[in-house]
Structure 1
Amino acid sequence: MTTTAVPMPWALRLVTDRLPVGPPAYASVVLDGVSQTAVYADASGRVVEMGKHGTSRTTGTASVSGGGDGQQPQPQTQDDNTTDYESD
């Protein structure tokens, strides 16, 4: 029986790991019934801090649109939203 090797797609040779691959920093996750948050523990059962997550904040932006020739500008109105991400 003869087998034919299927060539690997050319783009796969360009794929690399972006982050180092390793074991997770935790061994188990349980839900704390009081705070309703996840509690991460290592293999010894000690609680592991998993870091903080960023917070997004959306703010409205306003602009003044003018009237026709010879007319006064119109009042400011909210016409767009901007999302800003910051870390905790």
Structure 2
Amino acid sequence: MTTTAVQAPWAMRLVTDRLPVGAPSYVSVVLDAASQTAVYTDATGQVVEMGKHGTSKTTGTASVSGGGDGQKPQPQTQDDNTTDYESD
């Protein structure tokens, strides 16, 4: 009797972790009622700074699309938005 090992689907075998996986630097998270922000604490109860988060900027993109055959291109018009994330 032959057995075969079960493999993940082909595309899933190509996926890799984007960031190193490790234990979090905090033990608990509570909501500060006054500031309505999360407060992260370590095993000794000390507050852990979680760092800054990125800021998103939304910008419009424009394209030129032509009319029918033999017609000149139409003027640029904003037809889409792109969100870009930057570090603070």
Q: Please report the TM-score for the alignment, with normalisation by the length of structure 1.
A: 0.62
Equivalent residue runs for 1:1-88 within 5 Å: 7-11=4-8, 18=17, 19-63=19-63, 68=71, 74=75, 76-88=76-88
Stretches (4+) displaced over 4 A? 14-17, 63-69
User: What displacement does 1:34 show?
Assistant: 0.8
Q: Which moved more, 1:77-86 or 1:57-66?
A: 57-66
User: What displacement does 1:22 show?
Assistant: 3.3
2: CA distance between counterparts of 1:32 and 1:49?
14
1: CA distance between counterparts of 2:59 and 2:42?
39
Code of the aligned partner of 2:49? E
Where 1:31 maps in the other structure, the secondary structure is strand
Residues 24-62 of structure 1, C-alpha deviation per residue, up to 9 Å, x if partnerless? 201111100011010000111110011222222111123
Change in Cα spacing, 1:87 to 1:20, as seen in structure 2 (3 Å) is closer
Unaligned segments of structure 1, at least 5 residues: 1-5
User: What displacement does 1:11 show?
Assistant: 3.7
Unaligned segments of structure 2, at least 5 residues: none
Q: Please report the TM-score for the alignment, with normalisation by the length of structure 2.
A: 0.62
